[in-house]
Structure 1
Amino acid sequence: MKSLKLLVIIVLLVGATSTVAAQRTVKVYPRQGTVVTTVYQPRLVVHKGVNFHFSKGVWYKARGRKYVVCAAPVGVKVRQLPLGNKVVVRAGRKYYTYNGVFYKKKGRNYIVVSV
């Protein structure tokens, strides 16, 4: 009887851990050119006289009351990157990447670079 209880407990534990492991979050980013009506807490970044909005690793340009997803402008500076960014070494140089955009750290800022 003890072995049966132990077996049931083991099966329940294995089933519970496999269920938790199967539940993964998949981030889906909008494609360039996509028009959205709201952006979650966008940060305004002015680069070469153009206003860009940066939110959760996605770059936008305002168009009236809507936002259009755009490419990250090369050379623009941001103070911090979103959580989940990765460190990549290319040609002996250290870069940070998030959502397909490469950043190079300079002082306290991160600068969008073309790699």
Structure 2
Amino acid sequence: MKEPKKYIRTIFLMIVISALVLVAERAEAQRRVQGQRYTIVKSAPKSSLKVSYNNVEYRVHNHVYYKPVKGKHIVVSAPLGIRVKRLPAAASPIVVRNHVYYEYQGSYYLAQDEEYVVVQAPVGALVEHLPEEYEHLEINGEHYYVADGVQYKAVLKGDELWYEVIKVSDKAYS
């Protein structure tokens, strides 16, 4: 009689563990979707903060910006010119023409007066990853990538593939 109890307990534990894994995977998927640019969500996360900038009332959660659009919110890049006290934890430092920039999900930050201001991508910047949403272009056999009006080209840095900012349009980040 002890064997069926062990069997039932083992099955019960497997069900509980499976349920926990499923909940964790769904939470991670939701986090990724909510942070992916151009994703439209019904509402910004409840713990997001209201930030007014250039007559737009954004919601901000973990350095992800949500812009209101027709009763919903769309995930957008950090608006140009906005200032923040702290950088996103995952921001990567990039040195271009003796200036240190910080890149996070396609937004570029520059230190100014004990704060960080969001600026246009500096031409010449090398980044490890392209922003999440980009368009691939092939021109005369060359491959380019465009996101928010910023054009990138794949380059080798040592033996690793990186992306160089080669052009910023006048309509970048609009």
TM-score (norm. length: structure 2)? 0.47
Superposed displacement of residue 102, structure 1: 0.9
Superposed displacement of residue 84, structure 1: 2.4
2:8 aligned partner: none
One-letter amino acid of the structure 2 residue matched with residue 88 of structure 1:
L
Match of 1:100 among 149, 153, 160: 149
Whether the aligned pair in 2 keeps the contact of 1:58 and 1:99 (CA below 8 Å) is no
Superposed displacement of residue 38, structure 1: 2.8
TM-score (norm. length: structure 1)? 0.68
One-letter amino acid of the structure 2 residue matched with residue 24 of structure 1:
I
1:58 aligns with 2:111: no
Q: Cα deviations across residues 5-47 of structure 1 (Å, max 9, x unaligned)?
A: xxxxxxxxxxxxxxxxxx9342222332221223322111011
2:82 aligned partner: 34
1:44 aligns with 2:93: yes
One-letter amino acid of the structure 1 residue matched with residue 144 of structure 2:
Y
Name the CA distance, whole Å, in 1 between partners of 2:114 and 2:104. 16
Q: What SS is found at the alignment partner of 1:114? A: strand
2:166 aligned partner: 113
Report the number of matched residues: 93
Name the CA distance, whole Å, in 2 between partners of 1:91 and 1:35. 40
The alignment's C-alpha RMSD in Å is 2.2
1:24 aligns with 2:40: yes
Name the CA distance, whole Å, in 2 between partners of 1:101 and 1:60. 15
One-letter amino acid of the structure 1 residue matched with residue 78 of structure 2:
P
Instruction: Return 5+ residue gaps in structure 2 as ranges.
Output: 1-38, 42-73, 169-174
Superposed displacement of residue 64, structure 1: 3.6
Instruction: Return 5+ residue gaps in structure 1 as ranges.
Output: 1-22
Name the CA distance, whole Å, in 2 between partners of 1:100 and 1:39. 23
